[in-house]
């Protein structure tokens, strides 16, 4: 539960087959940089289609053609998770003090949340993801975005972050992109540090 000293809420969104616990270490890495922050790292709303962990939507049989529809279908359950966290921590009237931090599928959902205009939060950090939202996009243009991606990612090519940045910038959003040489589908210490600095600056 939030206290009177809590002035920012960071919600961390994991990838497919993972869980909230896998992103929780970021809270320790950012504890000093983001003083006064509440960190919440929920599990996705449904068990993963592949083995252990959770997911925001199924990627079984996913294609370029059906991905947007799956994101649309995942919005109600995603919104329910986020709304509960925001309300529980006392940020319902303070979305400008809320940040989404996603990895992989978590980034897809975080970008969709702002690109659709549903969640005009204070900041979004997306690691190793893509923008795959159904059209039309009606973004919360005041939300700054940082996209971090390794150019050796075999799961989601780093070009997806470059494309996402271009699409969001064309809609009036402020987007910064960091492409890390040789990095696979993961979050590096350098990327985490850059994200922490970004959040500290935006949510100061």
Is 6 designated active site?
no
Which entry of 104, 116, 128, 133 is annotated as an active-site residue? 104
Please report, to the nearest 10 degrees, the dihedral formed by the alpha carbons of residues 2, 22, 167, 61 taken in order: -130
**The one catalytic residue among 49, 185, 188, 197:** 185
| Whole-angstrom distance, CA of residue 67 vs CA of residue 98 | 27
Cα(127)–Cα(179) distance, rounded to whole angstroms?
A: 10
Catalytic residue list contains 153: yes
Is 73 annotated as catalytic?
Answer: no
**In whole angstroms, what is the distance from residue 125 CA to residue 131 CA?**
13
> Which of 14, 18, 153, 158 is the catalytic position?
153
Catalytic residues: 104, 153, 185
């Amino acid at each position: 539960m939030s206290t009177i000293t809590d002035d920012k809420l960071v919600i961390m969104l994991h990838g497919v087959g993972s869980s909230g616990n896998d992103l929780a270490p970021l809270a320790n890495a950012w504890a000093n940089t983001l003083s006064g922050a509440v960190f919440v790292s929920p599990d996705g709303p449904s068990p993963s289609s592949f083995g252990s962990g959770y997911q925001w939507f199924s990627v079984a049989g996913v294609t370029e053609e059906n991905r947007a529809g799956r994101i649309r279908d995942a919005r109600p359950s995603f919104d329910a998770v986020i709304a509960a966290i925001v309300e529980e921590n006392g940020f319902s009237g303070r979305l400008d003090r809320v940040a989404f931090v996603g990895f992989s599928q978590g980034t897809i959902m975080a970008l969709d949340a702002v690109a659709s205009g549903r969640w005009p939060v204070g900041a979004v950090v997306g690691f190793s993801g893509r923008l795959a939202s159904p059209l039309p996009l009606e973004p919360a243009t005041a939300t700054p975005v940082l996209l971090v991606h390794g150019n050796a990612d075999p799961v989601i090519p780093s070009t997806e972050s470059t494309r996402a940045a271009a699409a969001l910038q064309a809609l009036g959003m402020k987007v910064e992109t960091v492409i890390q040489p040789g990095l696979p589908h993961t979050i590096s210490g350098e990327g985490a540090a850059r994200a922490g600095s970004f959040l500290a600056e935006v949510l100061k």
